[in-house]
């Protein structure tokens, strides 16, 4: 009976480790997909489009403290994007990296609504995957909304690295490399 206890403990530890890795793959993949979607949406906005920010109250001297800022990276636009971006997770499928056996999430529907021209072999596409990915995305948006707005309000390089790996710790370094090599 004593041997069974150790076996149960070992099995529990192995299952716990596998679950934690799956959860990290999911949250890392959701973060990286979220960054891709936000970067694409921001790039679609006319760079000349601006929005007035500041106080609309009139100062004692008759002036207003209003400035025009580019709309694409304004807090108003980013907040609007964050409200709807996770719906796009239904356009992603799950792929197992053959060398690391880690899950990657890839866009399977083109931006124009048509199927991507990529080879879909080995990519699992179903409502369970997209639902789970959407839920993970929504959790990230809820937990890290301030960081997302901070990062996207100014142009930055390597947002996926800085946000998903360094700032939020949702991706570990090994997983980060496997996503970039796809």
Residue in 55, 132, 151, 21 with CA at minimum distance from that of residue 86:
132
Residue 163's CB: how many other CB atoms inside 10 A?
Answer: 25
pTM of the model: 0.76
Q: Write out the two tokens for 132.
A: 């789970």
pLDDT at 131: 93
Query: What pLDDT is recorded for position 62?
Result: 75
Which mean pLDDT values do the consecutive 10-residue runs of the chain (182 residues) have?
Answer: 52 42 83 95 93 76 79 94 96 90 88 68 87 96 94 86 88 52 40
pLDDT of residue 176: 41
Count of Cβ atoms closer than 10 Å to residue 172 Cβ: 14
Burial grade of 161 (CB within 10 A; 0-12, 13-18, 19 or more)? middle
Give the Cα separation of 111 and 88 in Å (integer). 10
Residues 6+ apart with CB under 8 A from 91: 107, 108, 109, 130
């Amino acid at each position: 009976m004593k041997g069974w206890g150790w076996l149960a403990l070992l099995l529990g530890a192995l299952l716990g480790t596998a679950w934690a890795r799956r959860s990290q793959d999911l949250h890392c993949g959701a973060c990286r997909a979220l960054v891709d979607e936000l970067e694409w949406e921001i790039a679609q906005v006319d760079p000349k489009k601006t929005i007035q920010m500041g106080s609309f109250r009139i100062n004692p001297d008759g002036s207003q403290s209003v400035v025009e800022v580019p709309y694409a990276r304004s807090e108003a636009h980013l907040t609007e994007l964050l409200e709807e971006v996770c719906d796009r997770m239904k356009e992603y499928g799950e792929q197992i990296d053959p060398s690391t056996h880690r899950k990657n999430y890839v866009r399977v529907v083109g931006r124009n609504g048509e199927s991507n021209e990529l080879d879909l072999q080995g990519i699992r596409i179903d409502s369970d995957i997209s639902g789970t990915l959407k839920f993970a995305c929504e959790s990230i948006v809820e937990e890290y909304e301030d960081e997302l707005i901070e990062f996207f309000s100014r142009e930055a390089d390597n947002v996926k690295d800085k946000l998903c790996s360094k700032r939020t710790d949702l991706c570990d370094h090994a997983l980060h490399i496997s996503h970039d090599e796809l």
